[in-house]
Amino acid sequence: MSAIRPDELDSRLADGGYYLLDIRPRDDYERGHIGGSHNVPVYDDLRAGDEDALRRHLDEIPRDREVVTICKMGIVAKRATRVLDDEGYDAATLLGGMSGWRGYQSGSVLYRLRSLVWKLF
Range of the domain at 17: 2-120
**What is the tally of structural domains in the chain?**
1
What is the DSSP code string of 13-27? GGG--EEEEE-S-HH
- The model's pLDDT over 40-97, given as tens digits with 9 standing for 90+, comes to 999 999 999 999 999 999 999 999 999 999 999 999 999 999 999 999 999 999 999 9
* 8 Å CB contact between 39 and 33: yes
Average pLDDT over the chain, rounded to an integer: 92
pTM, full prediction = 0.90
Q: Is the pLDDT of residue 121 over 70?
A: no
CATH code, domain carrying 48: 3.40.250.10
